[in-house]
Each structure stands twice: as C-alpha cells, then as structure tokens.
Amino acid sequence: MDHEGQDSARQAACGLDEAADHHNNQDDADVEGGARRQGLDQTMHGRRRKVYWVSARIWGEWVECFHNKSSISNPSTESYSNGKTRVPVIRGNNLPAASLFLDDDFVFVTEEKADDLRSNAAYPGDVIFTQRGTLGQVGIIPLEAKFPRYVISQSQMKLSVDPEKADARFVYYFFRMPSTVQAVINHALTSGVPHINLGILKDFEIPLPHITVQERIVDILSAYDDLIENNRRRMALLEEAARQLYWEWFVRIRFPGHEYTRITDGVPEGWARQRLGNIAECVGGGTPSTSVSSYWEDGDVTWVTPTDVTRNNHFVLLDSEKKITAAGLQNSSAKLVPPHAVLMTSRASVGFFAVAGREVCTNQGFISVVPHKDVLSPYLLFHLSARVEEIRSMGSGSTYPEVSRGKFREFEVMMPEMKLVSLFAEQAELLLKQIRVLKQQNQKLRAARDLLLPRLMSGEVAV
C-alpha cells in the first residue's frame, strides 16, 4: 500500500482531523491516571483505524465538541416546544437494540435553543452512542430521517463520518458487535454511575478495509436490517389496524348492526358496566430468592419483568430475558398465568401491556388479567390500554406509584354484548397472530445477521 493510502486509512471515520486531539483536561487526567484503555486490536486486510469521537452534553458543565469549549446552562421550560418549529432530542430510547434508530418518541427543543446548542447537533448519517446508563447502545440516524437535524442529550455522543474515507454504517455495525459492546462495558469508569468518556473512546480502533469493501459488507448486513425494518413497519400497521377496529366499534359506536341498535346516553342496548373483578381474575407475581441458585440456573419457565414489556414495541411478547426453574416457581409468589392472560405493569412504569400467547409468570411488578372467558382477552387488552391514563391515576406510593390488585378489581369496564366481543376477538386475533409470525421472523433475521457480523468484520467471510 502506498503512503497516501496508509494516510487515508489512518485519517478515516470522522471529519474531526487534528481538532479531535483537543479533548478536555478531565479526560486527559483520566487517561494519564491509569484509565487509558487498550483499543480493540482487530485488523482487516492489514489495516486498522483509531476512531476519534465527539462528546457533547446538552445541559450543564462544559461541552467538548471538536476543539471548542462552551458553557451551556440548563434550558428553561420555554426552551421546549410543541409547535411545528422544533428540533428533536436524541436519548437512549432512540437507540433500541432491535433496530438502527427509533425516529420517534422524542422530546423537543425550540429552533432557537437548538441554535444555541449547535455544537451538539446531529444530522442524518451521524452515529450516536450512549456514554452513561445503558452502555453499548449505538444507533445511526438514517439518511431518510424524519427531521433535518437533531440534538443529542447529555448522555449521548455522536460521530460524524467522512463518507469519502469510511462508511458510517460500517462504523455502526462494528460497534453493534457483541465483542465491541462488551469492550465498551469493560472499559467503563465505575466511579458513580458507570460511564465512558472521550479519552476512553479515542483509544478504540476499528478494522478499516478499503471503502468499497466496507460498502459491500454494509450491503450484506443492511439487507437483513431492511427486512427487519419492513417487518417492524408491518407489525405497527397491523397493531394500529386492531386498535382502530376497537375504537370504531366500541368508542365511536359504529359496530356491525349499530344502525339497528337503540343507544341511550351513549350506551348501546345490551351493553353494561362491570367490575373488572367480576369478569376476570387479577393475579400478582413474585421473584424467587436470588441467593438460591437452583431457582435460576438452567431455568425454562418464562418469567416476565417490566423491562421485558416496556422495551417491547408491540403487545405481542415472544419471550422473557430471564427464566426461573420449577423450584423457583414453587418457592415464590410467582404464578403461572394462561396464554390468554393480559399482562399489565402495575408499579413504577404503570400501564404497559402485553400478551404472551403461552403460559408465563411475572415478577411482582405486574397485575395479570385472566378473563373468565378466553374470548374476552383481545377486548380487554385494547380496552384497558385505551384507558391507561385512568389506570395510572389509581397509583399511589411514596417511593413509586403502584396500582393495587384490590383497586384494580374495582375498576369498571364497559362490556358489550358477548356476540360482538366474540366477533372482535376473531378479527383482532388474526392481526395479533400475524404480528407474532413477523416477530418470530425478525428474531431469526437478527440471529442470522449477528452470526454473520463478526465474520464479515474479521475478514473470515470474504466479500
């Protein structure tokens, strides 16, 4: 390789050039004081590249971006905007493990505030990292993003890639590898909240083949992600179709035959208010002792925690992150609930719902609604989720809000005629089953992509 090619490889991956060497004194102190971390020593076709990073905090302290330093004060409430001229703030929830980037669920700042924070701006094509909290999170703003610019939060960092030297998606995929994620976690500073800083990340090295090789690798991996994203959109449409069907029939009162039904005070004939406890069991959960290994090791009982549900993008839940054993189930207050149970988080993050479609148990952060008649499950799922703010208002507690089972049993629900509920269940179940199939497809696609990813990055699989 000629000297020009070597220099190009050394300078690739971000347009910071020499300015990136100007990091703050604290990062220098951390590095020189023993916190310097060995970069990843991986090669591809004999070429390596040290990646330089931009660290930025929106609120408070000092902002390090390139070689400029500026003091930023906490934005006032006037800095936030609900209007049309607003700029989204990227947080950890926008960097989900299941996709490249969640271009939704933002808080916003005004255009004026975003101008003040211009050094923390991120644009389509930028790679975003979490520096504290869920370490190892990474995402990339798609080129076809919803917004022309974003602002990164105080817990995120960005990397702007020079497209003539490296493919941003290649950099993104490198940091998605399990080995890289683990390296980030291993290098975290543990004083206070575990975190990484500019000094640590400056020492990471990535394999950098020729740009055309990078692009071919990205094309292979992107084919999987494109299929996953297409399935995700289809699932969102299917769930929205079920939700709109519920609203059309049971909120707008335009169910089949409504024109022939007498309606008094907004209530169709044959409909009645019922205590939830009269039509369903409200079941709690529990956690086996973590000090007894036989309750956890090689467990095969699906044990759902609130995190499984809050991180789930749809009502359909395929699996849980943790499992317990039969002994753990028997020696705790966890209880198996049937496939048609509606799972609802009932403490702290109240009002997130899921259906597992098979027997599961939960920890104590749930109320599982088990209808006396299976056919009621789809109706109750959409009915309760539509009234989530009412349910949350029932919560009480000095440390975190919690809805008690006793209170929830008294919660009144409107029950239509069973014939209409059954008809809704038939249609909603078809939509939920399609979502389940698509989620299973995505599981297989992710597994295949993740198996291929390190092999492509190491050069084991030629492209």
Task: Say what the pLDDT of residue 82 is.
Answer: 54
- To the nearest 10°, the Cα dihedral for 349, 353, 356, 357? 170
Asked whether residue 165 falls in the same domain as residue 242, the answer is no
Backbone angles phi, psi at 311, to 5 degrees: -90, -5
Provide the domain count of the chain. Answer: 2
CA dihedral over 205, 208, 211, 212, signed as positive or negative: negative
Please check whether residue 363 lies inside any domain of the structure. Answer: yes
Same domain, 29 and 147: yes
Rounded alpha-carbon distances, angstroms, from residue 86 to 82, 92, 210: 7, 19, 39
- Residues 277, 410: contact at Cβ < 8 Å? yes
Q: Which residue has the higher pLDDT, 304 or 463?
A: 304
- Complete DSSP assignment for 194-254: -B--HHHHHT-EEE---HHHHHHHHHHHHHHHHHHHHHHHHHHHHHHHHHHHHIIIIIS--
Which CATH number is 413's domain given?
Answer: 3.90.220.20
Choice between 99 and 286, residue whose per-residue pLDDT is larger: 286
Residue 38, domain extent: 3-209
The CA-CA-CA angle for residues 446, 162, 1, to 5°, reads 95
User: What would the pLDDT profile of 263-289 be if each residue is shown by its tens digit?
Assistant: 999 999 999 999 999 999 999 999 999
Q: Both 414 and 304 in a single domain?
A: yes
Pair (305, 387) in one structural domain:
yes
In sign, the C-alpha dihedral spanning 111, 116, 122, 123 is positive
User: Do 270 and 198 share a structural domain?
Assistant: no
Measure CA 390 to chain center. Answer: 25
Give yes or no for residue 246 having a pLDDT over 60: yes
Does 457 reside within a domain? no
Question: Is the residue at 309 inside a domain?
Answer: yes
3-state secondary structure of 323: strand
| Segment 102-107 mean pLDDT | 88
Most confident of 130-144, 160-174, 239-253, 389-403: 239-253
Question: In the predicted model, is pLDDT for residue 62 greater than 50?
Answer: no
pLDDT of residue 317: 96
- 166 has a pLDDT exceeding 60: yes
Does residue 371 sit within a domain? yes
User: Which pLDDT belongs to residue 334?
Assistant: 97
Q: Verify that 186 and 253 share a domain, yes or no.
A: no
Model confidence at 10, in pLDDT bands (50, 70, 90)? very low
Question: Does residue 66 form part of some domain?
Answer: yes
Asked whether residue 158 falls in the same domain as residue 90, the answer is yes
Mean pLDDT computed over 39-52: 39
Instruction: Say yes or no: 204 and 237 in one domain.
Output: no
Residues 183 and 285 in one domain: no
- Is the separation of the CB atoms in 147 and 87 below 8 Å? yes
Measure Cα distances from 256 to 160, 233, 267, 338, 416 in Å: 55, 29, 15, 30, 12
Q: What is the pLDDT of residue 135?
A: 86
Residue 164 lies in a domain: yes
Query: What is the pLDDT at residue 77?
Result: 42
Kindly state whether residue 463 falls inside one of the protein's structural domains. Answer: no
Query: What is the token pair recorded at 404?
Result: 């008690």
Tens digit of pLDDT for each residue in 133-161?
A: 888 889 999 999 999 999 999 888 888 88
What is the mean pLDDT of the segment spanning 372-394?
Answer: 97
Is the residue at 11 inside a domain?
yes
Residue that is last in its domain, among 144, 175, 209:
209
Q: Which of 33-42, 195-204, 321-330 has the lowest mean pLDDT?
A: 33-42
Per-residue pLDDT tens for 340-356? 999 999 999 999 999 99
Average pLDDT of span 158-184: 88
Mean pLDDT, the chain, whole residue set: 82
Same domain, 79 and 121: yes
C-alpha distances (whole Å) from 291 to each of 117, 294, 296, 332 are 48, 9, 9, 13
290 and 429 share a domain? yes
Q: How far apart are CA 409 and CA 351, in angstroms?
A: 15
Q: In this structure, are 169 and 244 located in the same domain?
A: no
